[in-house]
Amino acid sequence: MNYFTEEKHYNTLNNYLRDRFGSKVFKIALNGDFTCPNRDGTISKAGCIFCSDQGSGEFGGRHSDSLEMQFNSIKEMMHSKWKDGLYIVYFQSFSNTYGPIKKLRKIYNDALGLDKDIIGLNIGTRPDCFNDDIYALLQELNEKTYLTVELGLQSMHDETLIKINRGHDRKTFVETVKILRKLGIDVVVHIINGLPGETEAMMIETAKFVNALDIQGVKIHMLYILEDTPLAKLYAQKPFPLLTLKEYADITVKQLTYLNDKIIIHRITGDPDRSQLIEPMWTLKKFIVANEIDKIMRKNNLYQGINCRSENHE
């Protein structure tokens, strides 16, 4: 089953969740005060070159606040726009399976107990932040709630992963996806368009690569440059080409046509913090970006999955 509409020729997360749960579903981003092996010195202290000091969680709660305070604050903000709905708690900042199993068990279960209308848990993390105990805990959680693990890949190309100081390779990502799927856990993959040195063909290849895996969702982001990141320093020293809005929209549409029509598209562009953004400024206009993608698909009668082919890059 797909969730296409006359306006949206791809599976939006909103339509999928409404169909599954019969209601509007809000994702509430919580900060569990985690860190990352790419920041604490285990792998590196520099982090991925694009990552801010918020660990890609600029719009989540503050780690200094309790989970309850974070949840209630964001819940109130959500209900200023929409009257009713159910909730998914989302651990977004940094790597949220990177910690002692005792902490993970407590924080996940505490989060699920914050409100009677919480129906799911999303955990954002890296593919190198798992062990047998963590997999077992996730399996337990998957039996009692709607669990999704979000894995950052960014690019299928190992040379790009090295360039952006990702700290893991493609093989590690594939192995982690296989284990999670063997446990029946839904996987959402993050990819970034416009990474330094990547061509359009390379970005399309990344979409084909993730499509060949057993995944349930994709988040597509545009590379943007934030203040006080290694990427900002690199860009200041030697500016490199950034995708225009049109280039990004065209590439993203092509990627969607190579993703099978069962995959849910959780995000179609990034969402930078205005106060930290250096370039490109058009990424602030996320609704315009989404509309541009929709217009291209409607004008050319394109749909998610129409160019889907079975490929195996493993």
Decide if 231 contacts 49 (C-beta within 8 A): yes
Q: Which residues lie below 8 Å from residue 201, measured CB to CB, with a gap of 6+? A: none
The answer to whether position 6 is within a domain reads: no
Strand partners, 187: 149
H-only helix segments in the chain: 13-21, 67-79, 101-112, 132-142, 158-163, 170-182, 200-211, 230-237, 245-257, 286-299
CA separation (Å) from 52 to 74, 139, 145, 236? 21, 31, 31, 16
Decide if 228 contacts 283 (C-beta within 8 A): no
The answer to whether position 60 is within a domain reads: yes
Strand partners, 267: 219
The answer to whether position 177 is within a domain reads: yes
What distance lies between CA 17 and its chain's CA centroid?
Answer: 16
The answer to whether position 122 is within a domain reads: yes
d(CA 242, CA 245): 10
The answer to whether position 306 is within a domain reads: no
CATH of the domain at 74: 3.20.20.70
- Please give the residue range of the domain that contains residue 160: 13-299
The answer to whether position 28 is within a domain reads: yes
How many structural domains is the chain composed of? 1
Would you say the pTM of this structure is higher than 0.95? no
Which DSSP string corresponds to 139-172?
HHHHTTSEEEEEEEEE-S-HHHHHHTT--S-HHH
Q: What is the pLDDT along the chain (314 residues), one digit of tens a residue?
A: 899 999 999 999 999 999 999 999 999 999 999 999 999 999 998 889 998 776 554 556 676 789 999 999 999 988 888 888 999 999 998 999 999 999 999 999 999 999 999 999 999 999 999 999 999 999 999 999 999 999 999 999 999 999 999 999 999 999 999 999 999 999 999 999 999 999 999 999 999 999 999 999 999 999 999 999 999 999 999 999 999 999 999 999 999 999 999 999 999 998 899 999 999 999 999 999 999 999 999 999 999 999 985 444 44
The answer to whether position 7 is within a domain reads: no
Q: Is the peptide bond before 241 cis (omega within 30 degrees of 0)?
A: no
DSSP H/E element including 86: strand 86-91
The answer to whether position 8 is within a domain reads: no
